A and B are shown apart, each in its own frame.
Chain A
Amino acid sequence: MGNSSKNGAKQEMQEAREKQKKEERYKVKLICMRCGFEKTEMYDPNADEEKICPKCSSNSIRIKKV
């Protein structure tokens, strides 16, 4: 019984941590792998959108944390 409540609390903490991680926005450098165009912006990992290079309209956008 004790173990299961401990496990439950652990799981809750992990879920909360994951949720917090998901909600975090961080600064990234977006690099076009086709034309080399670079841009720094705040990145939302939960935003479900296609990345497109504004210069060459390629989808090969590499996301690097800065």
Chain B
Amino acid sequence: MADVGRHPRIELMAMSEVVDVEGYIGNFKVRIKRRARYVREKECTACGECAKVCPETAPDEFNIGLSTRKAIYQPFPQAVPSAYLINIDECRGMIACSKCYEVCEKKCIDFADKDRTVEIEVGTIIVATGMEPFDATKVEEYGYGKYENVITSMEFERLISSGGPTGGHLVRISDRRVPKTVAFIQCIGSRSKRGETKSYCSNICCMNTIKDAFLIHSHYPDIEMKVFYMDIRAFGKGFEELYDRTRKFGVRYIRSMPGYIEEDSRTKDLLIYAEDDDGSVKVHRAEMVVLSVGLVPRKGNDEVKRLLSLSYTKDGFFMEAHPKLQPVDAATKGVFFAGCAESPKDVKDSVTQASAAASRAMRLMATGRVKVGAVKPVVDLELCKRCGRCAKVCPFGAVKWEKGNPPAVIEALCAGCGGCAAECPFSALDIRHFTDEQILSQIEAALIERPEDKVVVFACNWCSYGGADTCGVSRFQYPPSARLIRTMCSARVSPNFVYYAFSLGAPVVLVSGCHFADCHYINANRNTVKRVQAMWDRLEKWGIRPQRLQLEWISAAEGERFARVMEAMENIRRTVTKEEMEFGKGAVKEYVEKYLKEVRKGDKVSVAEE
């Protein structure tokens, strides 16, 4: 941290908040709000004289409220920059007090300091917003917040730290004496689906407890320790060995999750009710209980997500572009992740990911140029009615539109999902290599012979098409009626393609794409859902059985699911009669003719923004 502060090419902006991000890879414009420190950062030597005379005290956030600080303070001893700051909401002000101002020899106190906004230009962005510990009050049965001697692993960390409120002495909160027995309860807020707990494993808690047990043993060898757990996940270099060592020096690992905790009101000891190996409930007495809390995404992540057009995985952490092949890249080009912003991880993994993110960013910036793919939208200015619907559905904000003007596409930002083209009600947008004409030709080819025997399947490039591939290489059998048409994303599937397939006599059409959490275009497949819902309504209005249009999410690994879905499609196909197909052809005829007339006139031109 200190090295970062001293580095000539790194500008560290403490007390700053990103308020706006514009632009795209290589050309981001970032507006940053720099909060007033009220202390001149470069002149302050952190002598601490000001804090000594400050009359206002407040809970110390760094010590999680276990100690106090003054209204003028340094957030923590190793803080960079090494300078004090004033929390102006707690300060009595220059007129009422000014004791810090008077005592400061270097005259660093500046009550006239103001928040200011700066704008910087950057080529790449690394998101390293970290995580938050789970709020243990949400697991009521363990009495956190109610019983003084029930603390969280974060509080324990501060208690045992030499720079902490007790100078590294482990004491009970209730009577300030060293506990004789300490119990740890694992998986608080993790690996559970009750209430506000999280279903994922927080990754670090097992090893953190093992480390804590090790620390206690080295400081106080006589303390008896018990760890209540579901299973110990000590994977990683040297971790299993450390686990073994704690067992050897007497830490008792009890495979049981306690039902509840009660306090002995006389001694303030804690009674832990936990099931034993034989199924009976046993009461364990401990003088201190440490709840090993899991990690949850930061509350402010929504704003970062909005500013950078990012997406979340199901657990609420930021989603990487690809879990295996691009684990540090965001779906938005030029944005990378480091640390717990992407998923819970320990220090080693965070450092590894941060190094990878830095390398990815450096590689881009050293090249100075970015190659963009050819699969981008083109606009027919004659057909475009300047409605702006294309801009509204773009998950990357790559389509810029102002009222009365045609859309402009930032090609470096566009990922080529094709959702804009499918959304355009005037067929004014097309996607290079996945044009309407090309897809219509594929539909025609698929249904050229015996269309009544075919199922038209629109499969997204990344997942469903991969699922078909996996199905094939795994030798799963599926009916030969499927005719696959590949699109980059299911969002590219325009309702016109579906109606065209029905006009050619297709009995069943399947639109398939990635599962919600896997969408390679942030959330483009949510637009697919909306379109399919609208298509079902329209088909019903036309008198066509809506069941003839199906929607399925199939991942690239789900070869077996692909086969099962195809069998289900075949079963539906068998229920579609010739009369139904003929009726369907007639019902969509007028609509399709009008669409074909539109799509086959005019020239699509690239209106990429420079």
Residues of chain A touching chain B, judged by Cβ–Cβ distance below 8 Å, are 33-34, 48-50, 56, 58-60, 62-63
Contacts and interface: CB of A to CB of B under 8 A. Distances in A.
Contacts of B572: 34
A56 B568 contact: yes
Given A33-B546, A34-B550, A58-B552, A63 B533 contact: yes
Contacts of A58: 550, 552, 568
Contact of B516 (A33, A48, A63): A48
Contact of B552 (A48, A59, A62, A63): A59
B536 interface: yes
B88 to A, nearest CB: 30
Interface in B536-588: 536, 546-547, 549-553, 568, 572
- Of the candidates B532, B547, B549, B553, the one having the most CB atoms from chain A within 10 angstroms of its own CB is B547
B551 A59 contact: yes
Given A48-B516, A50-B515, A33 B526 contact: no
B523 interface: yes
A48 B550 contact: no
B523 A48 contact: yes
Contacts of A56: 568
A50 B526 CA distance: 9
Nearest to A52: B553
Interface residues of B, number: 16
Contact of B546 (A49, A59, A62): A62
B455 to A, nearest CB: 13
Nearest to B510: A60
A33 B549 contact: yes
Given A49-B516, A50-B515, A33 B568 contact: no
A34 B533 contact: no
A33 B526 CA distance: 18
B536 A33 contact: yes
A54 to B, nearest CB: 16
A33 B46 CA distance: 68
Nearest to A50: B516
A59 B549 contact: no
A33 B547 contact: yes
A38 to B, nearest CB: 13
B309 to A, nearest CB: 15
Nearest to B546: A33
Contact of B551 (A48, A49, A60): A60
Contacts of B516: 48-50
A62 B533 contact: yes
B553 A59 contact: yes
Contacts of B553: 50, 59
A34 B553 CA distance: 14
Contacts of A63: 533
Most chain A Cβ neighbours within 10 Å, of B516, B550, B551, B572: B551
Nearest to A32: B547
A42 B523 CA distance: 23
A42 to B, nearest CB: 18
A27 B451 CA distance: 39
Interface string B156-177: 0000000000000000000000
Given A48-B526, A50-B516, A62-B546, 6 more contacts: A33-B546, A33-B551, A34-B547, A34-B550, A34-B568, A60-B551
